[in-house]
Structures are given as C-alpha cells and as structure tokens.
Amino acid sequence: MRRPRAPAGDLLLTAALGALSGVSLLALVFPSVLVVITSFNASDFLTFPPQGWSLRWYQAMAGNWEVRQAATLSLKVAALVVAIDLLLGVPAAFPLTRTRFRGRELVRTFLFSPLMLPGIVIGIGLLFFFMLLGWSLSLPLLVISHVVVTLPFIVSMTSARLAALDPTYEEAALSLGASQVQKFAHIVLPQLWSGIAAGAAFAFLLSFDNFTVSLFTASDRLRPLPIVLFYLLRYDINPLVGAVSSLEIGLALFVLLVGSRLLGLARLTQLSRRVT
C-alpha cells in the first residue's frame, strides 16, 4: 500500500523548522570556525580573511611564559575542582534522590541556585563574602569559587542517573548476602558511571573556561587562562588571541568527543537536558 502523503502545510512547517535549525547551528558554530581560521593568520594584525597562512602565533603561544603558566593553572584548578565536586556531589545525590527529609527541597534549591544566577552575580557575591571574612584572594579561594558553580552539574547528573536505576537489582544483591559496600561497588556505581562522567566533563570545561567568576576571585599573581585572554584583548587585539582561543575550543571538543565515545552522544545529551 502506498503511504498517504503528508499535508502540504506539514511539509512546509518541517522545511521551515529544518532551515531555522540549520541557521541556528551555523550561527553557533561559525564564530568558532572564524576564530580557528584567524589563528593561522600570517599578518601582524588580527584580520579576516587572513593575509597568508602561518603557525607563527601557535609558536608564539608555546613560547609565551604567561600563557603557559595560565594554561597550567587552569588545568590544575579544573582538576582540583572536579575531584572536590566528585567527593561532595556523588554522596549528596543519594539523600536528595532516595530519601525524604524536612528541608530537602530547600537544600536542593540551594545547591542548584548557581545554575539560575548569572556568573557575574556569583562572582561579585563571592568576592564580597571573602572580603567580609577577611580572606585574601588565593588559589584555594579560586578553587572554592569554581566548586560553587560546577557542583550542581555533578549532583544533578548523578541524581538523574540514580533516579533511573531499577532498585530490584540492589534488593537482589542484598538478598544474596552482599554488604552495602559490595552493593554500591558492584551494582550501583557501574550504573552511575555515565552520569558521574558526564557531570565531571561539564564541570571540567566550565571550570577551565570560566571567566565571570574568575575575574572577581583570581588574584593578580594567579591568572587563569580566560583572564589572560581578557587582558590580551583589553587594550589591543593581539593575534595571539586566536591561537589561545583555538586551544580552548580544541580542548572543549576533545572532552566532548571523549565523553560521547565513552557514554554515547544520545545518553550524554539526555543527561545534559536533565540538568535544566
């Protein structure tokens, strides 16, 4: 039997939505593509189209001590932030998901509030809070400020995966004589792996590329890579910016590709949607 034709209005609507999606995707990706293209510019000025092709700015980036130190600091901070997020976020997901206690929704709202506030508001608030306590800006305070804005990703994604687990597997393990530790290690944790890994990936990227919070909580002696990038653009457009920005874009793509390879793109997208 021949399948009935879709109404002309539905076909037009589908075509319009497809075109709109394509334009939106192009608007999101095109600026990043331009940045990568300009990073190979041979000119002394940041111009488009490039006035020749060269790797001179990548060589300049590799030889720039300030950029190397900032990139190392950003990687160190991001690694510390992810480790602290995992130690705090994974245990916090269990009572928020599986137990009911007075004030649970208040605790949940408090933990997820950084997702609802602009980064600049969080940065100013943390700066005033540190000043009120009499603390000077330092590496530990920079790490703490990043934990505040990244912890909700670990908690939410772990909670989303935990809520989808079938409790019969855990009951079966306990009925067969497994301890609580064995149940968690062999039954629960392997099924939580996808949520934990996805949350850690988003937390790492958000910490490494965080500008709004770092601008108010990083000291002058410890500037992460986004702050150094900001100062390169503050007074003049240094072509080195293209190479540094391409480095950040490449790192983000690498982390997302590894995450999609380990977890599957569909599952990674599904978990990221549950955050919002």
Q: Annotate 155-212 with DSSP letters as a single string.
A: HHHHHHHHHTS-HHHHHHHHHTT--HHHHIIIIIHHHHHHHHHHHHHHHHHHHHT--H
pLDDT surpasses 60 at 188: yes
**Is 206 part of a structural domain of the chain?**
yes
* Contact predicate 73/224, CB 8 Å: yes
pLDDT tens digits for range 80-129:
999 999 999 888 888 888 777 787 788 888 888 888 888 888 888 888 88
**Is 56 part of a structural domain of the chain?**
no
**Is 135 part of a structural domain of the chain?**
yes
What domain range includes position 265? Answer: 65-275
**Is 102 part of a structural domain of the chain?**
yes
Domain count, the chain: 1
Provide CB contacts within 8 A for 238, sequence distance 6+: 46, 232
Tell me the residue type at 261: R
- Hey, what are 106's tokens? 């208040």
- Hey, what are 262's tokens? 């380990």
Provide CB contacts within 8 A for 66, sequence distance 6+: 223, 228
pLDDT tens digits for range 248-267:
888 888 877 776 666 654 55
Alpha-carbon distance of 135 to 161, in angstroms, equals 38
Mean pLDDT in residue range 202-227: 86
Alpha-carbon distance of 173 to 222, in angstroms, equals 49
CATH number at 166 reads: 1.10.3720.10
**Is 195 part of a structural domain of the chain?**
yes
**Is 238 part of a structural domain of the chain?**
yes
Q: pTM (2 decimals)?
A: 0.79
pLDDT score for 267: 53
- Hey, what are 181's tokens? 């530790």
How far, in Å, are 6, 85, 205, 232, 234 from residue 248 at the CA level? Answer: 45, 22, 9, 15, 19
**Is 37 part of a structural domain of the chain?**
no
**Is 131 part of a structural domain of the chain?**
yes
- Hey, what are 182's tokens? 């064995």
* Contact predicate 127/144, CB 8 Å: no
pLDDT tens digits for range 54-84:
787 788 787 788 888 888 899 999 999 999 9
pLDDT score for 81: 93
Alpha-carbon distance of 51 to 21, in angstroms, equals 33
pLDDT score for 276: 47
- Hey, what are 186's tokens? 């062999």
